[in-house]
Structures are given as C-alpha cells and as structure tokens.
Amino acid sequence: MRRVVAQGTFDLLHPGHLHYLEDAKSRGDCLDVIVARSENVTHKPAPVVPDRQRREMVAALDPVDGARLGHVTDFLVPIREIDPDVIVLGHDQHHDEETLAGLLAEEGIDCEVVRASARDADPDAELLSTGRIIDRVCEHRC
C-alpha cells in the first residue's frame, strides 16, 4: 500500500483545498492529512477556525483516509508515525521540495516529495484562498 501525506492549515475550506487533497490521494492508496496547529502557523495570519474543528472538517472529506493535528514542537513526529511513501505539498505552499527532501533524508525518512497541481479555475468565479474568502466576507458584511 502506498501511503501519501498532505499537510496544511485548511482554514475555511474551499475548492482549492479539495483539489489539493484529491491530487494527493491520486498518488497513492491511503491519504493521511496533517492539519497545522494554530500556534505553529507563523507564515500567514493565524487560522480563524479552531484546530479541532479544522481537523474534523478535513477528516470528513472523501479523499481523506485519516486526519490528525500536527505536533506542537516537531513537525516530523507525525511523519515518522505515518511513514509515508510520498509527501504532497500544495501548489502554493511556502515549503521548498528540495529542502524538505534533504531534511527528511537527514532524519532517515525515505519518502518522495512532490508538489500538487493548481486547480484550473476562473479567479473571478471561485474563491481559492482563505484570505480571499475573508476579504469577500469583510466587503459584504463589515
């Protein structure tokens, strides 16, 4: 069985998240998703939705076989527990494939690192980022 890992914040789920997870699932037999804890999200604004609720929503999506929260201090803990064959990064995630692959190799974790495709969509017709969803809500409700 080929195990795949996807990871992300998954705040305010949107079609871009679903595309990412469907793409990741297509690369193996079992998809495990690691949902970032709010306290570990430092590269963008903190999530609006609480950790447990984001994990529950991701777990309910059809492509997902299992979802868990990331570790508080060591992001490699769930990777070691899952022992994936491949890690699929989102098309716009800030991680660098080569840097991550090097770190995994240093830790003795043998898995492929690949980047998911972007969803082909009309940017005016679909909201494919949490930030754009928040902006739209503020435009219409604030």
What are the structure tokens assigned to 75, written together?
A: 């992001």
Cα separation of 118 and 92, whole Å?
Answer: 8
Task: Could you list the residues known to form a binding site for ATP, using ranges.
Answer: 9-10, 14-17, 92
Angle among Cα 27, 110, 88 to the nearest 5 degrees reads 30
Residue 66 φ/ψ, nearest 5 degrees: -165, 145
By C-alpha distance, which of 10, 84, 91, 18 is closest to 53? 10
8, 49 contact by CB (below 8 A): no
Looking up tokens 């995630």, which residue turns up? 93
Exposed (0-12), middle (13-18) or buried (19+): which is 89, by Cβ within 10 Å? Answer: buried
Task: Could you list the residues known to form a binding site, using ranges.
Answer: 9-10, 14-17, 92
